[in-house]
Copies of this chain bind each other. A is one copy, B any other.
Amino acid sequence: MINVLIAEDMHLVRGAVVALLSTEEDIEVVGEAGHGDEVVEACLRHRPDVALIDIGLPGTDGITAAGRLRRALPGCRTVILTGLATPAALRRALDAGARGFVVKDAPAGQLAESVRRVARGEQVIDPELAVAALSARENPLTRRELEVLKVAAEGAPVEEIADRLYLSGGTVRNYLSRILSKVGARTRVEAIRIARQDGWLWPDDVGEVGLIRHRSRV
C-alpha cells in the first residue's frame, strides 16, 4: 500500500484528485494540505510515502515546500503537479529534489502510475516536457535583474522600483534596458510577458491581491 499526501489549494480539485486516487487498490490518501506552509507539518504527521504537491500553492509555493520537505523528511518522495508546464519550472522542481513532475494535462490514469513509479524509486518526468526542457533557452537574467523585472511587473514606474530595491533610478533604467535586450523584447510589457511565458518570472505575488479568495477567515 502506498501512502500519499496531497497538497493542492483548490478544494474541488483536491477532492477530485483524492477521489481519483482512491479508486486505486494500492494507493491510500493519508493526508491533505491546502497551503504551502502546511505541507511539511502535514507530512511529518501523516508520514506519506509520496507527497503530491501542486506548484501554485498559496503561501510557500509548491517547489519551495518540496525543498523543505526533502530536508525535513528525506524518505518522503515528492511529485510536483502543475497546470502550466514550463522547462524552467521543471528545472526548479528537479533542483528542489522532486522525483516526479506531472502535468495536469496528462491522462488521468497516469497519475496513479506516476505515484507508483516514484514510490518504487523511479523518476517520472513527462517525456515531451523533458525534451522541451533541453531545447529551451536558459533564463538569461541574473537574480538582480529578475528582482527588478518582478517589481516592474507590478506596474511600478522606474523611480518606485529604485526606491523599493534601494537602487538609483539610473541603475534601474540600465537593468531594464539590459533585460529588454536579453529577452529580446521591444517593450517593458513584452519583456514581462516573455519572462512569464517562459516561466522565469514567478507569479510569487502577482495575483496576490486577488479579490475573492475563498478561505475560512472572516
Interface residue ranges, A against B (CB under 8 Å):
9-20, 22-23, 81, 83-87, 102-111, 126, 128-129, 132, 136, 152-157, 185-194, 197-198, 206-207, 209-214
**A132 adjacent to B190 (CB under 8 Å):** no
Chain B, Cβ-Cβ closest to A214: B105
CA distance A10 to B81 in the complex (A): 12
Contact (Cβ within 8 A) A104 B209: no
Chain B residues whose C-beta falls within 8 Å of the C-beta of A211 in the assembled complex: 85-87, 132, 136, 197-198
Contact B189–A12 (Cβ < 8 Å): no
Q: Which chain B residue has the least Cβ–Cβ distance from A132?
A: B212
Beyond A11-B105, A136-B211, A155-B193, 12 additional contacts (C-beta under 8 Å) are A11-B108, A15-B20, A15-B107, A16-B17, A18-B108, A19-B20, A19-B22, A86-B212, A106-B214, A188-B188, A189-B189, A197-B210
Q: How far is the CB of A2 from chain B (nearest CB, A)?
A: 17
A10 and B86 contacting across the interface, CB-CB below 8 Å: no
Nearest CB in chain B: distance from A111 CB, A: 6
CB closest residue in chain B, given A15: B108
Q: Is A128's CB under 8 angstroms from B11's CB? A: no
A34, closest chain B residue (CB): B105
Q: A128-B214, A197-B209, A212-B128 are in contact. Are A106 and B11 (CB under 8 A)?
A: yes
